[in-house]
Structure 1
Amino acid sequence: MKMPPIRRSGWALGLALLLPLVAWAQAQTPPAVCRQLVASGNPQYPPYLWRSAENEDRLVGANADMLVWLSKELGLPIEARYVGPWGRVQEETRAGRIDLIAGAFLTMARTEYMDYFYPALRETRSVVLVRDGTRLDYRRWSDLAALQGVTVIGNSFGEDFDRYARDKLNISQVASLEQALQMLQRSRVDYLVYEDSPAAAYQARLNIDGIKPLQVAVASEPLYLTLSHRSACNTPEMRGRIARAMYRLARLGLMNGWVDKSIQLWKRVGP
């Protein structure tokens, strides 16, 4: 028995003819040209990054010096821009409005929206800070379980500690390191978790006495340069160029000099 022919409506036939043309047109569209990179980072992070006293929309510090060097290596302008506190920086990067983060710890959540470049910029050490006279024999994370802690919004101290703190510890988060230090100084919390060098720099600048880091570190974590997945500059070619530059940076050992210089700059001018 002969089957009747299948009749297509005019719109269905037109759509069938149009789809291949649309796909062909999209394939012919050239990729966006990367002419500039916008970078940011934690703006309360001396000696690595802080806001310039001369231009508060600009970031300065050791990581900003690294970006100047990277700009020359890539042959592209890189702007170290202040966009808000650390939590806002991560939101802007997730949305693709910031291309690079100059200094981020590795977490699985962050890998969902940005690529990490190896080797790391620098190894960092995160510690527990307490008031002088506090009797806390800290040896392991569980020693903090009965106490009230504080840290800065959006900060990470490594995947393992972040998970443990979320499940087992009572740590509140505030907008700035200055606020966290003042809470500790005024006995509103028992301890502060932060990196030792930035915390010491802020204590000196704010004339906050009576706070000390405990010897045993919470974590030692590498600090990375990252690139947003939604950046118009995130192409295989650009990722390769940045990766090669990071290996060259590590071989030359330039970060130590930039950090030393930035510590002296911070002491003179501050944020």
Structure 2
Amino acid sequence: MEAIVAYFSGLNNSHVKAGIQRLNCSESGDNNAFFSFLNRLQRFLFIACLMPMLSQGAQECTKIVISGNPDYPPITWIDSHGATPMRGVAIELLEMAFSELSIPLDAMHVGNWKRAQHSARTGKIDLLAGPYQTTERNEYLEYVEPAFMQDPVAIFFKNGHQIDIDDWSQLRAYTGARPLGHQFGEQFDSFAQQNLKFYSASSIQQLFEMLVNERVDYVIYGLNPGLAEAAKGGFSNEITYSSNFISSEPMYLPFTISSPCRQYSDFLSKKIATFIETGVVEELTTKYLKMLEKQISVSD
């Protein structure tokens, strides 16, 4: 019994100490008291261990912090000077959905797409706007079905230097480029890693510059974002693309697994389905493409 008393003597909880003292005083007799105390102690320790988890689970979703790719119009993007918050189809869809619950959104620019994914992985944001689904991302994102739109992935070439591509294997003879942190479907990514030569850069504008200067033979990027970024950078007349797409990937609005806002996954799922069915996604895509055209014409 003295060994048990010594073991628990360092505990600060007064109830535990009192229980040990009572047992010590009645050592001569009643084993039932000893086992009764151990049962109470077991329950106490179980609740003590459970409390942090209950506290974490009870966290409220008072604001949804979002980030995405700053160079992926019309889905998500920021102005080149970065003076305005992130905007685009994905951001406005989320604003429309959560306005019903009066939950504010904070669309943060945390850096390039690779940094946005890192912010999701480390729990610094609640929701990542517009990623494809991959095995790696499944480890830190809770995907909300359905996808809100499809994203055709194109091969861009310099005008006059197009390559007729019917099969990925034909790209082996050429040098390509892709932005840092981008995936273009797990099948293509696996093939590219084993068979293709790529250069990478942090922005699509840098890659288009490499393309028109003939430092690379082609660039892989989403079709609509690629055309918009080419126009922004003044490359529209110098760049073309193949009508044979690499893939067409679904884009999602997933919560991070550490976010207390995950509790609204089912709610968001229903809102996305409604937005698709009623044509809201298509309307917003048209709206932001026109906005981009206007911005580009003004800057010209």
Query: Does TM-score exceed 0.5, indicating one fold?
Result: yes
Which residue matches 2:283? 257
- Which residues of structure 1 form unaligned runs of 5+? none
Of the candidates 166, 169, 186, which is equivalent to residue 213 of structure 2? Answer: 186
Which letter does structure 2 place at the counterpart of 1:255? Answer: V
Q: Counterparts of 1:61 and 1:77 in 2: how far apart (Å)?
A: 17
1:142 aligns to 2:175 (yes or no)? no
Q: Quickly say closer, same or farther: Cα 1:106–1:243, change in 2 above 3 A.
A: same
Q: Quickly say closer, same or farther: Cα 1:27–1:103, change in 2 above 3 A.
A: closer
Of the candidates 173, 178, 203, which is equivalent to residue 151 of structure 1? Answer: 178
| Contact persistence 1:121–1:255 (CA under 8 A) | yes
Name which structure has the greater RCO, CA cutoff 8 Å, separation 6+.
1
Of the candidates 4, 7, 10, which is equivalent to residue 6 of structure 2? Answer: 10
| Contact persistence 1:73–1:245 (CA under 8 A) | no
Moved more, 54-63 or 9-18: 9-18
Which residue matches 1:38? 65
| Contact persistence 1:52–1:60 (CA under 8 A) | no
Q: Counterparts of 1:28 and 1:107 in 2: how far apart (Å)?
A: 31
Shift of 1:252: 1.8
Equivalent residues in 2 for 1:16-165, closer than 5 Å: 17=41, 19-23=45-49, 25-26=51-52, 29=55, 31-52=58-79, 56=83, 58-134=85-161, 136-165=163-192
Q: Counterparts of 1:145 and 1:122 in 2: how far apart (Å)?
A: 30
Aligned CA-pair RMSD:
2.3
Query: Which secondary structure state, in structure 1, belongs to the residue aligned with residue 124 of structure 2?
Result: coil
Q: Quickly say closer, same or farther: Cα 1:258–1:23, change in 2 above 3 A.
A: same
Q: Quickly say closer, same or farther: Cα 1:133–1:196, change in 2 above 3 A.
A: same
Shift of 1:232: 2.7
Moved more, 36-45 or 11-20: 11-20
Moved more, 75-84 or 31-40: 75-84
Of the candidates 236, 239, 251, which is equivalent to residue 211 of structure 1? Answer: 239
Aligned length: 265
Q: Counterparts of 2:275 and 2:151 in 1: how far apart (Å)?
A: 17
Q: Quickly say closer, same or farther: Cα 1:150–1:54, change in 2 above 3 A.
A: closer
Q: Quickly say closer, same or farther: Cα 1:264–1:98, change in 2 above 3 A.
A: same
Residue deviations 1:137-187 (CA, integer Å, cap 9, x gap): 211110101211001111111111111111111112210010010000100
Query: Which secondary structure state, in structure 1, belongs to the residue aligned with residue 173 of structure 2?
Result: coil
Which letter does structure 2 place at the counterpart of 1:173? Answer: S
Q: Counterparts of 2:194 and 2:2 in 1: how far apart (Å)?
A: 62
Moved more, 13-22 or 251-260: 13-22
Q: Quickly say closer, same or farther: Cα 1:260–1:36, change in 2 above 3 A.
A: same
Query: Which secondary structure state, in structure 2, belongs to the residue aligned with residue 60 of structure 1?
Result: coil
Pick the structure with more helix per residue: 2
Shift of 1:124: 1.1
Shift of 1:74: 3.6
Q: Percent identity?
A: 29
Q: Counterparts of 1:83 and 1:10 in 2: how far apart (Å)?
A: 53
